Amino acid sequence: MRLDTTTRKTLKPLLLMAAVAMVFTIWQHAAWARGRVSLPEYMCQALGWPVMSAGTKINEVIRDTGCSVFLAGSLAADNHRLRQERDELIAEKILLTEYFRENKAFREKLGFELDQQVKDIPAWIVGRTSTSGGQRCRIHIQIPENREVHQGDIVREAAGLVGRVIEVRGRIAIVLLMIDPQHGLGARVQRSRAVGVIKPARQWHEGWPDRLYMEYLRRSADIRIGDIIITSGEDGIYPAAIPIGVVEAINVSAEHAQTVAVTVRPFVDFQHLAYVWVVPQP
């Protein structure tokens, strides 16, 4: 039976493809028999792997993008909520840290214990008053509820004497510091009991004066650098034995050759004063 021309043209490609497939199949089985991969199979894998990998990545990108779009609203709400919670926690941490520092400073400065039953009144500084020359030698303190402060009450901290109350306005009291130019008090050398008068150092005119003078000490007085100065109790203002400061220098008075002027560094750090005790007077 003879095939016509059209049929022969149709069968030729099919026969060629079948022959090629048979050759590749025999080639593949022969390679497998030797434990290897045939060249056509290797080439197909080498050429097909990048295409498959690219397709997988494209599919993952499409999937992730779809999920992100679908969950965008929910993620935005969660993110906003978490930001609010973070800001609240930061604010609470700052507040707690400040409370901790205030409490620590309060207890260190005043030697205050929460369960301590004392007559002295703890108070904190809420303002300062400037006087002539730019000196800030008066402070305003806030008095706790249910406690009373009166003019003349002594003000101190754990380190030593601060000053005295000169005016009370409701829950606010004004304290004259012992470094004020108008202030003076009787003092005593703790070791030798020599007496004199404490006044602010005259050469300190700007800002916070941080030195005192002890005057009217006899030249023969037993006083040394490092001696502790306390209140004498002889001025009728302050009780005796309140710490004032420590002797830093001893100089012969230019005005009175028979006396010496002693430079005293106060125990209280007036520049960083934040809390005080008010000691009610009888």
- 70 lies in some domain: no
- 194 lies in some domain: yes
- 133 lies in some domain: yes
- 210 lies in some domain: yes
Contacts of residue 241, Cβ cutoff 8 Å, sequence gap at least 6: 230, 231, 233
- 97 lies in some domain: no
> Smallest Cα–Cα separation from 165: which of 81, 156, 263, 157?
156
- 3 lies in some domain: no
The Cα–Cα gap between 217 and 59 comes to 96
Q: Within 13 Å, how many C-alpha atoms sit on residue 136's CB side?
A: 12
Phi then psi for residue 71, to 5 deg, are -100, 5
- 227 lies in some domain: yes
Would you give per-residue pLDDT tens digits along the chain (282 residues)?
455 566 666 666 666 676 666 766 775 666 666 666 566 665 666 666 666 666 677 767 777 676 666 666 677 777 778 888 877 777 776 666 666 666 666 666 555 544 444 578 889 899 988 665 545 578 999 998 888 999 999 999 888 999 999 999 999 999 999 988 888 999 999 999 999 999 987 654 444 457 898 988 888 888 999 999 999 999 889 999 999 999 999 887 666 667 788 899 999 988 888 889 999 987
The Cα–Cα gap between 269 and 207 comes to 14
- 198 lies in some domain: yes
Domain at 229, CATH number? 2.40.10.350
Q: Please state the domain count of the chain.
A: 1
Threshold 0.85, pTM exceeds = no
Strand partners, 76: none
- Token readout for 43 is 């080439």
Strand partners, 124: 142, 275
Domain that holds residue 174: 120-282
